[in-house]
């Protein structure tokens, strides 16, 4: 009789793990998956194209219902199938509607939740996050009948939401507490280049301020008041101020948790029968919000579930690309540097190009590129390989095809 593997979470991290496991040991487990959304596994990265109408839901499905059937996976999905408890003594999971499943191995991939700031007046219609298909459907519905959108947060998610709503015909203002956009991925100068280019597309920005109060009329948001006292019309407010690991279930059942579910290099939790991957985990003090490290976790976890136990997860540098039409942007590693770092910078205002490389001991520790990202794969490889660039330092900023200087 096959051992039983139960997966809590039907998102990209958990299903990438199962996909890899099926490649390694397709007959090893009897697999059951629980997901709180009434869909198969879809690509959350592609929610932005769905928002502005370039794709539909079917086009962003990674695993449709047929995939689960074809791989003999039992899928329980929908709000009523949300797992509310795990009996670790009896190895049983319990859902909201009373469904039970026993396990020999358990994988928790509950992902993350949007940070919904406790702004006075927020509990009204029209205030929402941007995390799933339901959020996108609500945003599209509002855009069809309303005019003014405010996005709180000038990070990757906020800018993508703003662009999507603008493409739907709304007047969009982005509010960001920091003094420049993408302040976690870009330095101030690159942020200024980005703001200028996005303003040319029609977006508006209020930087160095935040929303102090939400004003409503008849139960629906109508205005936001900023901490500088100014008032903006708002038919919809998207909170894109970050995410937090969804660890409520893990905490309830007594797993070691800090900011996220604490995992070892094997992706095992404090209970060796329970694994965890994705945005819900914390590894060596670090949390995760990008796809590349999450997929690497899934690969390591699948290897251990398949009893190929030589894999260990290591936190690596991940690159950031912005999914806004017409914007070429790349960021990786520590682009700020410190007193021991060196910087190489190229600025061409006429072409709207900005590049900065941060070096320490002839190794690239971080980089920002805006306007020309042609060589991003080459630079990313130099970062990941920790390559010594002493021999090409004089032409490094110009890319791999730059000619060497004459002696």
234 shares its domain with 90:
no
Q: Does residue 151 belong to any structural domain of this protein? A: yes
Average pLDDT over residues 100-115: 97
Average pLDDT over residues 235-239: 97
**Average pLDDT of the residues of the chain:** 92
pLDDT number for residue 321: 64
252 shares its domain with 231:
no
224 shares its domain with 251:
no
**Per-residue pLDDT reduced to its tens digit, 284-331:** 999 998 888 899 999 999 999 998 776 676 665 666 666 565 678 888
352: domain range?
328-398
Task: Give the separation between CA 146 and CA 236, rounded to whole angstroms.
Answer: 8
Is residue 404 predicted with pLDDT exceeding 80? Answer: no
Confidence of residue 332 (pLDDT cuts 50, 70, 90): confident
Burial 280-298 (b: 16+ CB within 10 A, else e): bbbbeeebbbebebbbbbb
Choose one of 305, 320, 343: the last residue of a domain: 305
What is the percent of the chain where pLDDT is above 90?
A: 74
80 shares its domain with 33:
yes
Q: Does residue 70 belong to any structural domain of this protein? A: yes
Say how far residue 69 (Cα) sits from the centre of its chain: 28
Token digits of residue 225: 């008041």
Tally the C-alpha atoms within 13 A of residue 203's C-alpha that lie toward its C-beta. 28
Distances (CA, A) of 335 to 124, 155, 342, 347, 356: 39, 16, 11, 16, 8
153 shares its domain with 89:
no
pLDDT number for residue 317: 60
95 shares its domain with 40:
yes
pLDDT number for residue 344: 93
177 shares its domain with 137:
yes
What is the percent of the chain where pLDDT is above 70?
A: 94
Is residue 388 predicted with pLDDT exceeding 80? Answer: yes
Specify the length of the chain in residues.
407
Is residue 10 predicted with pLDDT exceeding 50? Answer: yes
- Structural domains of the chain, count: 3
Which residue spans within 246-362 are E strands per DSSP? 261-262, 274-276, 281-282, 319-321, 329-333, 342-348, 353-360
Say what the pTM is. Answer: 0.87
Domain holding 348: CATH number?
A: 3.30.390.30
Task: Give the separation between CA 197 and CA 352, rounded to whole angstroms.
Answer: 8
Task: Give the separation between CA 238 and CA 59, rounded to whole angstroms.
Answer: 24
Please, what is the angle between helix 156-167 and helix 133-145, to 10°?
40
150 shares its domain with 184:
yes
285 shares its domain with 228:
no
63 shares its domain with 26:
yes
88 shares its domain with 156:
no
Average pLDDT over residues 121-126: 96
């Amino acid at each position: 009789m096959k051992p039983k593997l139960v997966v809590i979470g039907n998102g990209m991290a958990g299903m990438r793990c199962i996909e890899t496991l099926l490649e390694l040991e397709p007959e090893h487990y009897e697999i059951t998956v629980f997901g709180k959304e009434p869909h198969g596994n879809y690509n959350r990265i592609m929610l932005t194209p769905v928002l502005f109408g370039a794709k539909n839901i079917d086009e962003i499905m990674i695993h449709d219902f047929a995939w689960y059937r074809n791989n003999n996976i039992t899928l329980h999905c929908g709000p009523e199938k949300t797992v509310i408890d795990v009996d670790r003594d009896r190895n049983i999971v319990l859902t909201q509607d009373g469904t039970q499943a026993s396990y020999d191995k358990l994988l928790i991939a509950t992902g993350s939740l949007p940070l919904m700031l406790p702004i006075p007046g927020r509990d009204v219609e029209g205030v929402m996050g941007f995390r799933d298909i339901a959020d996108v459907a609500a945003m599209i519905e509002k855009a069809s009948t309303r005019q003014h959108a405010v996005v709180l947060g000038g990070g990757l998610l906020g800018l993508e939401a703003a662009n999507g709503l603008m493409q739907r015909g709304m007047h969009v203002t982005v509010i960001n507490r920091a003094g420049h956009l993408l302040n976690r991925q870009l330095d101030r100068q690159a942020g200024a280049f980005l703001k200028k280019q996005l303003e040319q597309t029609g977006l508006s920005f209020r930087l160095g301020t935040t929303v102090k109060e939400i004003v409503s009329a008849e139960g629906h948001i109508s205005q936001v008041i900023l901490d500088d006292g100014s008032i903006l019309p708002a038919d919809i407010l998207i909170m894109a101020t970050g995410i937090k690991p969804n660890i409520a279930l893990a905490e309830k059942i007594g797993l070691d948790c800090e900011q996220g579910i604490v995992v070892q290099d094997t992706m095992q939790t404090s209970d060796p029968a329970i694994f965890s991957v994705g945005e819900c985990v914390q590894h060596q003090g670090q949390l995760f919000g990008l796809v590349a490290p999450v997929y690497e976790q899934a690969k390591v976890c699948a290897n251990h579930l398949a009893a190929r136990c030589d894999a260990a997860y290591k936190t690596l540098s991940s690159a950031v690309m912005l999914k806004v039409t017409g914007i070429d942007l790349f960021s990786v590693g520590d682009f700020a540097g410190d007193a021991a770092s060196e910087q190489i910078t190229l600025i061409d205002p006429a072409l709207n190009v900005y590049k900065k490389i941060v070096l320490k001991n002839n190794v690239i520790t971080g980089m920002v590129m805006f306007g020309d990202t042609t060589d991003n794969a080459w630079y990313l490889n130099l970062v990941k390989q920790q390559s010594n660039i002493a021999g090409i330092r004089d032409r490094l900023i110009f890319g791999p095809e730059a000619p060497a200087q004459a002696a």
